[in-house]
Structure 1
Amino acid sequence: MTLNLSQKEAELCFPQLNNSCKKRTRPHSESVIIYTLLPSFSLLTVSLNLLVIISISHFRQLHTSTNLLLLSLAVSDFCVGLLVVPFQILLSEPCWLLGDLACILCSILPYISAPAIAVNMVLISVDRYVAICDPLRYSTKITPKRVKICVLLCWIYSVFYNLLFLFNNLKQLGKYNSCYGECVINVMGAVDLILRFIIPTTSIIILYTRVFVVAVSQARSMRSHIAAVKLQRSKTVTVKKSELKAARTLGVVVAVFLVCYCPYYGISLAGYELMTGSLTHIFMFFLVIFNSCLNPVIYAFFYPWFRKTVKLIVTLEILQPHSRQANVL
């Protein structure tokens, strides 16, 4: 009798409380993902995005409107690796032992950068839309000052977006917990789905569909008239080619974003609820981390300047005088 009582107590998060949650048994595969893969990708995400942040911030040649948006996206991805992953590992523990207030703070505050990722993707799509569809007025429409204002508004929106969920859950601590040792928050799923997925995704798809149509049209036009292009217009053609290449690269970034985020929100659209800490939830979260880790890898494949700057950073040549003026393009 005493042995059975001890076993039951060992299965509870708080044996001294009547309404204690039972400790959830974790499969070995789940433990491998949580304690091996997630920390590894977290470290890789932080390292790679830090290289992007240093590159664009340090070298003057990279201080362009498009790269400012890439810098903002890199900061978002950096925060995901640095803040979101450690707290997600903590939240996936079989029992929550830190109290209701810590549950809310750990569930919401680390995700401040998450809405910024979606908004940055929309801003990148707008940038490419103007560059391809209205190239003659791109330099007047998309100025560094305007981009900085947009990036600032993006982060202000992201902060207030998370504070909305924070205050909603602070009204009554532990309201959504069914037992002691559980960490459940209300994320207002419909609002989150519309603001962070449906609206940004729809905007991105519409803009890039238009970019794709115009880009294909311009590519065909350049191929058919390349023999008749005069020397005076050769620079214009080169600019168009570079813009098309940038559109293709950033199109890959946007496509990867959609592939990684669609499964999570697709489940929400289907009406299913993900249990925090479940294997499905962890896999969906892993896709989000994978997206933040993959963006710098895409830059490395498509942008020669990123490969050059990484070499300068790793070899510590950026510590040399006048390294900011180095030719990396």
Structure 2
Amino acid sequence: RSSNNLSAGLCYPHLGNSSCRRIVRPPSVYVLLYIILSSISVLTVTLNLLVIITISHFKKLHSPTNFLLLSLAVSDFCVGFIFIFEIILLDNCWYLSARWCMFFSVLCIIVPTASIGSVVLISIDRYIAVCDPLHYHTKVTVNRAKISVFLCWFCSALYTLVLVDHMKNPAGFNSCIGECVTFIHPVAIVLDLFLTLIFPVSTILILYVRVFVVAASQARAMHSHVAVVKLQGSVKVNKSELKAARVLGVVVVVFLCCLTPFYIVSFLYSTLSTFYFVKCLYYFNSFLNPMIYVFLYPWFRKCVKYILSLQILKSGSSEANIM
């Protein structure tokens, strides 16, 4: 009987002591977790696909800011597939090949890195739009936004290749069969901490503090009868930009709230279940982003109706006035 209990707690019972131990949970808990994670995965892929189709299809939305949002939506779309691998690892067992393990490891680096880079670019875009509105349209163009997005993904891919070069073969490093663990050199870990947390988060916070300081000063100026005449032109220029800054500010705050716990837990001693929770919270941000657009962007809701009613299949639908 004790032998049967031991086998039930192994990823590959027929391999005996060579197999990794699996996390044993009540069947009802497994079913609940599978339903929750599967639903989040499907919704993350679907909602971000709607964002991708919306910004790509409607020409009225082909602005520098929206192309940066498109980059974020593509990375969030990919996160939906990362959730599939997380579902496989629910019982702490890897049932796929070593190549799939390496693919999963690479995906877990390149996608979040591109996502962080996209949020930094969005913060820079809002900073220029609010703090230097007169030169915004000359400094920030569609072509420059596209080049920035390309460089963001290229640098993410290059950075991933550098880290992967420091990774040992997952199958060779695993302590038992049924594990997907990649070893990264300690120097690479320190570099990763600086490049994916300290530097980008500091940049985002500094830029957005400046944005909201300027926004607050303009709000005070609008209530001042003396300043209204002097600032009337600049307020008119900045009104839509300030609204966009507020919406994207919500995106940035939610992003930081989901990102920070993951890194805190990663570098502190924690249980496997705690680490798994904060990792899913980190990925859950990709589900939240399109939800923010739904509630705060009227044009996005209008575009979703166009897509779901298949009106985008009509000729000339890309020219529709959805603003």
How does the TM-score come out when normalised to structure 1? 0.88
Counterpart Cα distance in 1 of 2:143 and 2:263? 34
User: Structure 1 residue 125 and structure 2 residue 120: aligned?
Assistant: no
Structure 2 residue aligned with 1:297: 291
Q: Once the 2 structures are TM-superposed, how far is the Cα of residue 234 of structure 1 from its aligned partner?
A: 5.9
Deviations along 1:221-244, whole A, 9 cap, x unmatched? 1221489549xx866533211111
Structure 2 residue aligned with 1:250: 248
**SS of residue matched to 2:33:** helix
Structure 2 residue aligned with 1:75: 74
Counterpart Cα distance in 2 of 1:326 and 1:67? 17
TM-aligned CA distance change 1:282 to 1:149, over 3 Å = same
Structure 2 residue aligned with 1:183: 180
Say if 2:110 and 2:157, in contact at 8 Å, map to a contact too. Answer: yes
Say if 2:169 and 2:182, in contact at 8 Å, map to a contact too. Answer: no
Deviations along 1:136-159, whole A, 9 cap, x unmatched? 110111111111111001111122
Counterpart Cα distance in 2 of 1:90 and 1:165? 24
Counterpart Cα distance in 2 of 1:118 and 1:14? 41
Say if 2:24 and 2:91, in contact at 8 Å, map to a contact too. Answer: no
Counterpart Cα distance in 2 of 1:172 and 1:290? 29
Counterpart Cα distance in 1 of 2:249 and 2:132? 18
Say if 1:45 and 1:289, in contact at 8 Å, map to a contact too. Answer: no
Deviations along 1:181-210, whole A, 9 cap, x unmatched? 222112454332221111111110010011
More divergent stretch after superposition (158-167 vs 211-220): 158-167
User: Structure 1 residue 60 and structure 2 residue 64: aligned?
Assistant: no
TM-aligned CA distance change 1:307 to 1:163, over 3 Å = same
Q: CA-atom RMSD, angstroms?
A: 2.4
More divergent stretch after superposition (302-311 vs 180-189): 180-189
How does the TM-score come out when normalised to structure 2? 0.89
TM-aligned CA distance change 1:294 to 1:21, over 3 Å = closer
Counterpart Cα distance in 1 of 2:117 and 2:32? 29
User: Structure 1 residue 210 and structure 2 residue 210: aligned?
Assistant: yes
Counterpart Cα distance in 1 of 2:132 and 2:223? 20
Identity of aligned residues (%): 51
Higher relative contact order (CA 8 A, sep 6+): 1
Structure 1 residue aligned with 2:219: 219
Structure 1 residue aligned with 2:303: 309
Structure 2 residue aligned with 1:19: 18
Segments of structure 1 that go 5 or more residues without pairing to the other structure are none
Counterpart Cα distance in 2 of 1:42 and 1:226? 53
Counterpart Cα distance in 2 of 1:210 and 1:96? 46
TM-aligned CA distance change 1:252 to 1:228, over 3 Å = closer
Match of 2:322 among 304, 317, 328: 328
| Off by >6 Å, runs of 4+ in structure 1 | none
Q: Which amino acid aligns with 2:314?
A: Q
TM-aligned CA distance change 1:299 to 1:190, over 3 Å = same
Q: Once the 2 structures are TM-superposed, how far is the Cα of residue 173 of structure 1 from its aligned partner?
A: 4.2
User: Structure 1 residue 42 and structure 2 residue 41: aligned?
Assistant: yes
**SS of residue matched to 2:101:** helix
Structure 1 residue aligned with 2:155: 157
Counterpart Cα distance in 2 of 1:304 and 1:44? 20
Say if 2:170 and 2:181, in contact at 8 Å, map to a contact too. Answer: no
Counting matched residue pairs gives: 319
Q: Once the 2 structures are TM-superposed, how far is the Cα of residue 302 of structure 1 from its aligned partner?
A: 1.7
Counterpart Cα distance in 2 of 1:242 and 1:179? 57
Structure 2 residue aligned with 1:146: 144
Deviations along 1:109-157, whole A, 9 cap, x unmatched? 3553211110111000000000111111101111111111110011111
Counterpart Cα distance in 2 of 1:94 and 1:65? 42
Deviations along 1:232-286, whole A, 9 cap, x unmatched? x8665332111111111110100000011111112234x22563xxx32332133
TM-aligned CA distance change 1:325 to 1:100, over 3 Å = closer
Say if 2:222 and 2:228, in contact at 8 Å, map to a contact too. Answer: no
